[in-house]
Amino acid sequence: MAGGNRNHVSQQQWRARAQREGVDHGASYLREWQKFAAYRLFEQIALGTVLFLLCAITVYCTVVVVVRLIGDFILGVSFLDKVALQETFGSILTIVILLEFSHSIYVALTQKSGAIQVRIVVPITVLVIARKLMLQDFAAMNIYTLLGFGGATTDAWGTLLAYFQCRSTLPYAQGTG
């Protein structure tokens, strides 16, 4: 074994030791895998249900926004009022947020990557904060509310950057997307 790993145990040696000790690693591994497979099935069903619900809400919101926009276009110049534009863009951002959530769940279903993905959730959070800021009346807002929004946005982006930094420095994560 010159130059090789001296601590390496061959598969035959491992099986022989397990047989001597009366341990069936294959059966325990199979039991654990079956538990995991049952959870994966549950997760896939739950994600599929949530995806269906999000799609239904997105379609409903899109129809409501289209009807509202037609009404706004009929108003003509008064549509350019600040409050009307805020409501319109807020509604459109709501649809974008719903689409992004739906897409993240679709990716989780198709790639079997897990339900919660930090790299998707944080930008959605920033979109939600931007939507909330867009709908605010800045004349009536105090400085503490503005600082809270700024802190929440900074915290969300900081979390995303820390996530990617940790992912790139962990040895087991090298080469994973």
CA distance 107 to 140: 41
Give buried/exposed letters for 7-29 (b at 16+ CB in 10 A, else e).
Answer: eeeeeeeeeeeeeeeeeeeeeee
What are the pLDDT digits (tens) for 94-118?
898 889 888 888 888 888 776 666 6
Task: Summarize the chain as % helix, strand, coil (round to 5).
Answer: 80, 0, 20
Range of the domain at 130: 33-173
**Residue 8 clears pLDDT 60, i.e. is over it:** no
Indicate whether 134 belongs to any domain: yes
- d(CA 177, CA 175) in angstroms, rounded, equals 7
Task: Look at residue 163 and tell me if it is in a domain.
Answer: yes
- What is the separation, in whole angstroms, between the first and last Cα of the chain? 36
pLDDT value at position 24? 62
70 assigned to some structural domain: yes
* pLDDT above 70: residue 25: no
Q: Decide if 7 is inside a domain.
A: no
Query: Does 57 map to a domain?
Result: yes
Give the per-residue pLDDT at 169. 60
Average confidence score pLDDT of the chain: 75
From the list 101, 97, 136, the residue with the least C-alpha distance to 116 is 101
Percentage above 90 pLDDT, the chain: 12
The reply to whether 40 falls in a domain is yes
Within a domain: 113: yes
Q: Does any domain span residue 71?
A: yes
Provide the pLDDT for residue 58.
95
> pLDDT class for 22, splitting at 50, 70, 90?
low
Q: Give the residue with greater pLDDT, 143 vs 114.
A: 143
Quickly count: other Cβ atoms within 10 Å of residue 105's Cβ. Answer: 23
pTM of the model: 0.60
CB 122 within 8 A of CB 159: yes
Give the model's confidence band at 59: pLDDT under 50 very low, under 70 low, under 90 confident, else very high.
very high
Stretch among 41-50, 62-71, 146-155, 166-175 having the lowest mean pLDDT? 166-175
Please give the tally of structural domains in the chain.
Answer: 1
Identify the pLDDT of residue 118.
66
In eight-state DSSP terms, residue 176 is -
Non-local CB neighbours of 162 within 8 Å, separated by 6+ positions: none
Per-residue pLDDT band at 23 (split at 50, 70, 90): low
pLDDT in the model for residue 7: 46
